[in-house]
């Protein structure tokens, strides 16, 4: 079994953006990401920490906005509009899901397409769904695509099963893979016979968020498994896949930690750098 680590993919992306970071720095332009978090969800806080740490490492600034969970919709909207119009901000990331007092559909309308680095705006989503190039695709989705490309895992004609149909991971990932000519099956909590749907897959992708739900009865010996899940058992991070149960019975797997998560943060940073470059240096 081969472990598909995220680190080499992260290094490749870093290499790809190095020239742009240098060009920006020579012109005294610092790429800057704004994040908006409502409340104190632990997953959001950990992702925020990882963003700050990795951005600092390569000289990207962050503008971290934290609002109470019961923030009124109008206050959030005002903040997004301010960030939309701030020339020094090159991307806006809003942690999801938003609390129920926020009208999410309105947020998806007002966030500027060109600052929507995690692809939540209707314009970007629509382009993704009709196979036109959106300004950005969701960072986790792009992380999976980058990983598959890096390790030369072809998807054309392959049977791919995705477990999870969220708007930010499962659904857009299924569309991206469909656009790349894979034969995609999407599963969810109401799927009947999940075991068979998973077993038949040449590539199995899990985005559920439940520790160890994928065991050896869901897999086949030629399978590549991409584990997107981030879960915690006694404070230790783990994926959706029961690693010990499957490790000697599959072809390849992304570990958790040190798999997709690390790439996701780097994709976000790449989006900020590209956007800053596009806005200030090469506006084509």
Among the residue ranges 71-79, 81-89, 107-115, 167-175, the one whose residues contact ligand NDP (CB under 6 A): 167-175
Task: Collapse the DSSP code of 234 into the 3-class scheme (helix H, G, I; strand E, B; otherwise coil) and give the result.
Answer: coil
Cis before 263? omega within 30? no
Instruction: Give the integer Cα–Cα distance in Å for 282 and 175.
Output: 30
Q: Using CB under 6 A, pick the residue from 125, 163, 214, 246 that binds ligand NDP.
A: 163
Residue closer to ligand NDP by CB (options 91, 164) is 164
Residue 228 near ligand NDP by CB under 6 A: yes
**Hey, what are 271's tokens?**
């989006």
The residue count for binding ligand NDP (CB under 6 A) is 27
The reply on whether position 166 binds ligand NDP by CB under 6 A is yes
Residue 241 touching ligand NDP (CB under 6 A): no
Q: Does 169 bind ligand NDP (CB under 6 A)?
A: yes
Among 6, 31, 134, 229, binds ligand NDP (CB under 6 A): 229
Query: CB under 6 A: which stretch of 9-17, 48-56, 68-76, 162-170 binds ligand NDP?
Result: 162-170
Q: Is residue 6 involved in binding ligand NDP (CB under 6 A)?
A: no
CA distance 49 to 60: 14
Closest distance of CB 223 from ligand NDP, Å? 17
| Binding piece for ligand NDP, criterion CB under 6 A, among 80-88, 147-155, 201-209, 272-280 | 201-209
Residue 161: partners with Cβ closer than 8 Å, 6 or more residues away:
184, 185, 186, 187, 197, 198, 200, 201, 203, 204, 205
Instruction: Give the strand pairing for 91-94 and 183-187.
Output: unpaired
Q: Contact with ligand NDP (CB under 6 A): which of 94, 98, 230, 266?
A: 230
In angstroms, the CA 150 to CA 235 distance is: 31
Between 24 and 162, CB nearer to ligand NDP: 162
CB atoms < 10 A from the CB of 127, how many? 18
CA distance 76 to 220: 47
Contact 186, 173 (CB under 8 A): no
Map the footprint of ligand NDP across residues 42-71, applying CB under 6 A. Answer: 43
Neighbours of 104 (CB within 10 A): 16
Contact segment (CB under 6 A) with ligand NDP among 7-15, 182-190, 197-205, 216-224 equals 182-190
Burial of 184 (0-12, 13-18, 19+ CB in 10 A): buried
CB of 129 to ligand NDP, least distance (A): 17
Tokens matching residue 137: 């695709």
- Indicate the residue among 41 and 84 with the shorter CB distance to ligand NDP: 41
Cα-Cα end-to-end distance for the chain: 44
Per-residue tokens: 162 = 């995705």
Q: Which is nearer to ligand NDP, 31 or 164 (CB)?
A: 164
| Interaction residues for ligand NDP, span 247-276 (CB under 6 A) | 260-261, 264
Q: Residues interacting with ligand NDP, by CB under 6 A?
A: 43, 140, 163-166, 168-170, 187-191, 194, 207-210, 213, 228-231, 260-261, 264
């Amino acid at each position: 079994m081969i472990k598909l680590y995220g680190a080499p993919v992260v290094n490749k992306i870093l290499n790809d953006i190095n020239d742009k970071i240098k060009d920006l720095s020579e012109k005294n332009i610092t790429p800057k990401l704004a994040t908006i978090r409502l409340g104190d969800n632990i997953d959001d806080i950990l992702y925020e920490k990882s963003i700050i740490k990795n951005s600092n490492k390569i000289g990207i600034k962050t503008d971290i906005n934290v609002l109470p969970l019961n923030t009124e919709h109008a206050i959030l909207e005002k903040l997004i509009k301010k960030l939309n119009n701030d020339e020094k901000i090159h991307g806006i990331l809003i942690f999801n899901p938003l609390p129920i007092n926020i009208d999410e559909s309105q947020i998806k309308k007002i966030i500027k397409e060109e600052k929507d680095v995690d692809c939540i705006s209707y314009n970007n989503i629509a382009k993704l769904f009709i196979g036109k190039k959106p300004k950005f695709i969701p960072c986790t989705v792009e992380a999976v695509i980058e990983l598959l490309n890096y390790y030369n895992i072809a998807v054309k004609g392959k049977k791919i099963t995705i477990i999870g149909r969220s708007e930010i991971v499962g659904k857009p990932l299924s569309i991206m893979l469909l656009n790349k000519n894979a034969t995609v099956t999407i599963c969810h909590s109401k799927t009947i016979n999940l075991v068979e749907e998973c077993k038949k897959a040449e590539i199995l992708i899990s985005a559920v968020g439940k520790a160890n739900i994928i065991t050896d009865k869901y897999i086949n010996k030629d399978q590549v498994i991409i584990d997107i899940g981030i879960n915690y058992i006694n404070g230790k991070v783990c994926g959706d896949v029961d690693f010990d149960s499957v490790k000697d019975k599959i072809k390849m797997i992304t570990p958790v930690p040190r798999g997709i998560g690390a790439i996701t943060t780097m994709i976000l940073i790449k989006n900020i750098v590209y956007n800053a470059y596009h806005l200030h240096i090469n506006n084509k």
